[in-house]
Amino acid sequence: MIEAIETTIVDCPTTRAHKLSNTSVSYQSYVVVRVALSDGTEGWGEAATLGGPRWAEESVEAIKANIDTYLAPALIGAEVLSFEANALRMRAAATRNSAARAAVEAAMIDAAGHSLSLPAYAFLGGKVRDEVEVLWALASGDADQEIDEARDKLQTRQHRRFKIKLGFHTPARDMARLARIVEALPGAVIVVDINQGWSEATAIRYLPALSEMGVALIEQPLKPGALAATARVARRSPIPVMVDEAAFSAAEIVQNGIAGAGSVYSLKLVKSGGLFALKRAAGVANAFGMELYGGCLLESSIGAAAHLAVFATLPELEWGCEHFGPRILRRDLAATGLQFSDYKLRIPTGPGMGVRPDMDVLRDVARP
């Protein structure tokens, strides 16, 4: 039985600036959720944002308030193993609020796993893989720094796939920077993330250059509301287009699938609102022939492990994942964090999510 749900906002410095088309992050903020059960066990979850309510409508302040005021009261006294019933209780208590609901569900599943000495993926159907290829994002905007960073990742066999963030410079300047990076990294797989920063005309103009550079995937080139325009870009593009911010709900995945707005879908707990919902989202995307990519919002090992619990159970995960978040933080939030080796991220095998928080770090980075 669920006895208590507690939340803490934490602000974690990053090793470098992480730029998107609409903001720049030099520290990452999370809401860390603790669920305590009547048998004395506890579980942990995490909700991430990027620079406040810019990437989506939730901020860490709103997430904490809505968990404390609405979600927690709806769950106190409930059986922790009633996963679907608890998801319905949360939906009834708070519309959307997908990051908040996902963090609470992750903490409940983690607690249930520790209570029963089972890994979280056991509740989701069992794992079909032990590791996932992990991508690294280059997002400082400084080509020289990014090239040095990527070469270090290649030399140490940490990462061989790289996502280049575009959209925060003029398109011409971004393309010049991208060309330098591609030339400096022969053989590396290159993904570009435009973060909604281009228009249809700009995308059409630069598609040939992206193709000539050998770019493997284009993420969310246009704003989410431009469904027909994105579909026209996808039809003209020789490079697969990935749907991210344009589809949070299953209905939105369907709309993008029918429109032909992308052939790859980015899976994120902050979009789906829970681990079970994320697995269903993967199924909906698959039904429209979309390949799957494990997206991130710079989660620590706590949040990344929740994603990996789902990714471990998916029959296909064609594009691997980008859960490099623990490595961009100056201090990870987990004492027993994730294991990276030989370009891969290992699926944690311990009870629950397989990671535990570092209480000293949590105290140090907690917001007063």
Beta bridge partners of 33: 7, 45
Band of residue 168 on the pLDDT scale cut at 50, 70, 90: confident
| CA atoms 310, 312, 313, 317: torsion sign | positive
- Please tell me the distance from the alpha carbon of residue 297 to that of residue 318, in angstroms, as a whole number: 19
Query: By three-state DSSP, how is residue 79 classified?
Result: coil
Q: What is the pLDDT of residue 358?
A: 97
How many residues are there in the chain? 368
Residue 176: how many other CB atoms lie within 10 Å: 12
What count of Cα atoms within 13 Å lies in the side-chain half-sphere of residue 216? 15
Q: Name 41's Cβ contacts closer than 8 Å, sequence gap at least 6.
A: 111, 114, 115
Q: What is the pLDDT of residue 194?
A: 94
Q: What is the pLDDT of residue 21?
A: 55
Query: By three-state DSSP, how is residue 163 classified?
Result: strand
Q: Give the mean model confidence (pLDDT) for residues 158-168.
A: 93
Looking up tokens 């431009």 gives 226
Q: Look at residues 211, 106, 160, 192 and name the one whose alpha carbon lies nearest to residue 320.
A: 160
Helix axes 250-259, 227-236, angle to 10 degrees: 50
Q: What is the pLDDT of residue 238?
A: 97
- Please tell me the distance from the alpha carbon of residue 249 to that of residue 46, in angstroms, as a whole number: 20
First to last CA, the chain: 30
Q: Where in the sequence numbering do the catalytic residues fall?
A: 165, 322
Q: With helix as H, strand as E and coil as C, how does 209-257 read?
A: HHHHHCCCEEECCCCCCCHHHHHHHHHHCCCCEEECCCCCCHHHHHHHH
Q: What is the pLDDT of residue 149?
A: 95
In the predicted model, is pLDDT for residue 366 greater than 80?
A: yes
* Between residues 15 and 126, the one the model is more confident about: 126
pLDDT tens sequence across 30-61: 999 999 999 999 999 999 998 778 778 899 99
pLDDT tens sequence across 280-337: 999 999 999 999 999 999 999 999 999 999 999 999 999 999 999 999 999 999 998 8
pLDDT tens sequence across 229-288: 999 999 999 999 999 999 999 999 999 999 999 999 999 999 999 999 999 999 999 999
Q: What is the pLDDT of residue 23?
A: 63
Q: What is the pLDDT of residue 16?
A: 80
| Prediction pTM value | 0.95
Residue 155: how many other CB atoms lie within 10 Å: 8
CA distances, 143 to each of 21, 203, 207 (Å): 16, 21, 21
Helix axes 250-259, 275-287, angle to 10 degrees: 20
Could you say which architecture CATH assigns to the domain 123-346?
Alpha-Beta Barrel (3.20)
Strands (E), 120-236: 131-133, 136-138, 161-165, 189-193, 217-219
The domain segmentation of the chain, as residue ranges, is: 2-117+358-365, 123-346
- Please tell me the distance from the alpha carbon of residue 208 to that of residue 159, in angstroms, as a whole number: 27
Q: What is the pLDDT of residue 15?
A: 87
Q: What is the pLDDT of residue 196?
A: 93
User: Which tokens belong to 298?
Assistant: 């710079």
In the predicted model, is pLDDT for residue 24 greater than 70?
A: no
* Contact (CB, 8 A) for 174 and 209: no
Q: Which fold has domain 2-117+358-365?
A: Enolase-like; domain 1 (3.30.390)
Q: What is the pLDDT of residue 308?
A: 98
Q: Give the mean model confidence (pLDDT) for residues 206-221.
A: 97
Q: Name 212's Cβ contacts closer than 8 Å, sequence gap at least 6.
A: none
- Please tell me the distance from the alpha carbon of residue 209 to that of residue 235, in angstroms, as a whole number: 16
- Please tell me the distance from the alpha carbon of residue 178 to that of residue 141, in angstroms, as a whole number: 10
Looking at every residue in the chain, the average pLDDT score rounds to 95
- Please tell me the distance from the alpha carbon of residue 53 to that of residue 104, in angstroms, as a whole number: 19
